[in-house]
Structures are given as C-alpha cells and as structure tokens.
Amino acid sequence: MIKYIINKLNLFLISIIFSSELLSLEILEVKMMDSYKITREFPGKLLPAQQSNLAFEIPGKINVVNVDIGDAVIKGQILAELDDREAKAQLQQAKARYDLALQILNRYKDLRSEGHISIQDLDNANSEELIAKSQYEFYKVKLEQTKLIAPFDGVIQNRYLDTGSVINGGIPIVEILGSKNVEAHISIPLKFIDKLNIGNSYNFKIGNKRPKGVLARLAPMTPGGSDNRLAIFNFDTFFDPGSIAELKLSLNIEGRGTWVPIKSLSQSEQGIWAIYTVNDKKVVVRDLVEILYFEGEYAYVNGTLNDGDLIILGGAQKIIEGKSLNIQ
C-alpha cells in the first residue's frame, strides 16, 4: 500500500480484484471538520485620502496662480491670489473707524468717571466701538480670502484658471490631492461584509508589493443599488493614486464537512452530488453531498459522510455501486 498526502487529505492507493480483473483505485479517508477556509480576491482602486477642488470664497480678478499641475505643495502655502487692492482699502478704512471709535470710548470713560456724561452716552460709545471692531475684523477676513491656501500637503492634480481671469466666488481654481495617505475603495458582496471588522488588517496586492490595509469604514449604502457595499481601507505606506489594489480575503466559515477532490463527485439531482464510498463490508455505496465551497481541484462538502469513510476517487466512472471489493 502506498500512502501520500495531497492538500492535507489522506489519499492512498489500493489494489482490488473486480470481475476477475486487477484494478488500482485511489481511496480517500474522510476527515470531518467544523469549518473551512475560503479565499477571495476583490479588486478596487487607490484614491487619495484627501482630495479637494480649491476655490476663492469671494469674487475678484486673479492676480497670480503660483502652482501648476504636478507641483508638490505644503500645508499653508499660497497657491493663488486675487487682486487685493480693494480689500486693502476697505480694511484701512475699517481700521481708521475702529481706532476713532476706540479713542472716543476711552475719552467717554474718563468723562463718565468725572460725572460729565450720562451712562447712556457711555453705552452708545461702547456700542460704536464694538460695531467698528467687528467691521475691522470682517475686512481682515476679506483680505485673507484674496489668498488661496493649501489645506494639506499634496500635489496639484489640475489647474483650471490662469492669471487675469475674473471669477465669482466658488469657482474651482486648482485641484489638490493629498500626498501622505491613500485609501483603497473595494466593493464587497454583502455576504462577506459581516466577516469583516473595522480596525482589522487585511492582505493586499498592489503592483509587486504585498501591504496590509486597515479597514477604516464601510459605506452605509450599497453602490448603485447592487448587492455590494463599499469598504474603505487605509495604508501606512503611500502608493500612487489610481493604482489597482487587490484585497486578498481569507476567512474561516463555520460548517460541518470535509474536503474532497472534485473528480470524486458525480452529478445527481436538484443540485445534490453523489460520491462513492467503501463501507465496512467492503461494498461500494452511494452517498449524497452538497457542495458548500470549491477552490481549484477540491470541494468542501457536507452530507451523509462520516469520519473514516473511504471515498473512491473517480466516482461512477471507476466502480459500480453495490459491488463488493476484494482488497489485496
């Protein structure tokens, strides 16, 4: 008798005498299990974790655009500027009004302490100072809004307008992509979603690299009405946005059964498969099984099989049900 292992299955060769002819059969000894491991591959796309179309909040004439497509920028860098002459003039006027209101308020405080004015006069002066101060702060913000600032470290993906363009507020000037982190957006069937845990690491293939990605979040709804949900994974390493990321998902699925070579199965009725075994009396019997999962040349099945049963590889093509085997 020759014994060897194939894919963790107990497979061995026996010789039998059947119809006065010596035959050789491969026999598999059943080992029942309570779960099985599956592997699935789900492709997706790498996208920058941060991506923005940047626009001025106020209308104006573009004075200068400091960056172009492909430029690396850092957070806080000035990317473009509007003509700020009007904003500066308004700020100067507001500052002058504020300075005057503050001087009047201080003078009224002295007069009030000496009893020369009423409380109402002092309150009016205080109110004028507050109004002038708020206008001054308002025009400081307006001057700041003439500059387009990078909100994070990144790379310029698009430049939409040039110097001299007159724009309304909200018109995109440049598009910036974050240069520190990327996300993999993977569409995963709903039946696998409950097998994933936010915060856990999963294996990926990106080009010739094999990084791990952490499941950050799941989209609350399925994309486009499909039976999938979008899963977003983060990486410690930066990869080029737009690259293909392939999730290598390996899961343990609960289910009583055993692995058998597909070549030992024969088609039966209504999705049930037949498999031939040798019982204690060395007689060929037909068992019925259901395929729970298959991968490569093997299938994980459950049915009427038990530990120690001897499966005949090749099925009905190798042997006839009900025949006795004279094992050598």
CATH number at residue 221: 2.40.30.170
Regarding whether 21 and 159 lie in a shared domain, the answer is: no
Number of domains making up the chain: 3
Domain identity same for 148 and 61: yes
* 107, 116 Cβ separation under 8 angstroms: no
Tell whether 246 and 261 lie within a shared domain.
Answer: no
Token output for 88? 């500066």
Pick the last residue of a domain from 218, 253, 288: 253
- Mean pLDDT for all residues in the chain: 85
Token look-up 């024969």 returns 266
DSSP state letter for 68: -
Residue 316 has what pLDDT?
A: 52
Q: Which CATH number fits the domain that encloses residue 68? A: 2.40.50.100
Pair 68, 92 in one domain: yes
Which range marks the domain in which residue 189 is found? 41-50+178-253
Choose the final residue of a domain: 213, 233, 253.
253
**197 and 282 in one domain?**
no
What is residue 52's three-state secondary structure? Answer: strand
**CATH number for 295:** 2.40.420.20
Q: Which residue has the tokens 């099945």?
A: 301
Answer yes or no: pTM beyond 0.75: no
In degrees and rounded to multiples of 5, residue 95 shows phi and psi of -65, -40
Walk along the chain (328 residues) in steps of 10 and give the mean pLDDT of each run: 38 44 69 88 91 95 96 95 96 96 93 88 94 96 96 94 94 92 90 88 93 91 73 90 90 88 81 83 84 88 88 64 52
Which pairing describes strands 284-295 and 244-261: parallel, antiparallel, or unpaired? Answer: unpaired
Q: Facing residues of 38 across strands? A: 251
In terms of domains, do 101 and 160 share one?
yes
Residues 45 and 187 in one domain: yes
- Spatial contact of 43 and 246, defined as CB atoms under 8 Å apart: yes
In this predicted model, what pLDDT tens digit does every residue of 32-49 receive, in sequence order?
999 988 888 999 999 988
Question: Would you state the pLDDT for residue 325?
Answer: 55
> Are 300 and 220 contained in the same domain?
no
Examine the domain organization and report whether 64 and 164 are in the same domain: yes
Q: 293 with 214, same domain?
A: no
Same domain, 76 and 173: yes
- Do 56 and 172 reside in the same domain of the chain? yes
Residue that terminates a domain, selected from 253, 274, 307: 253
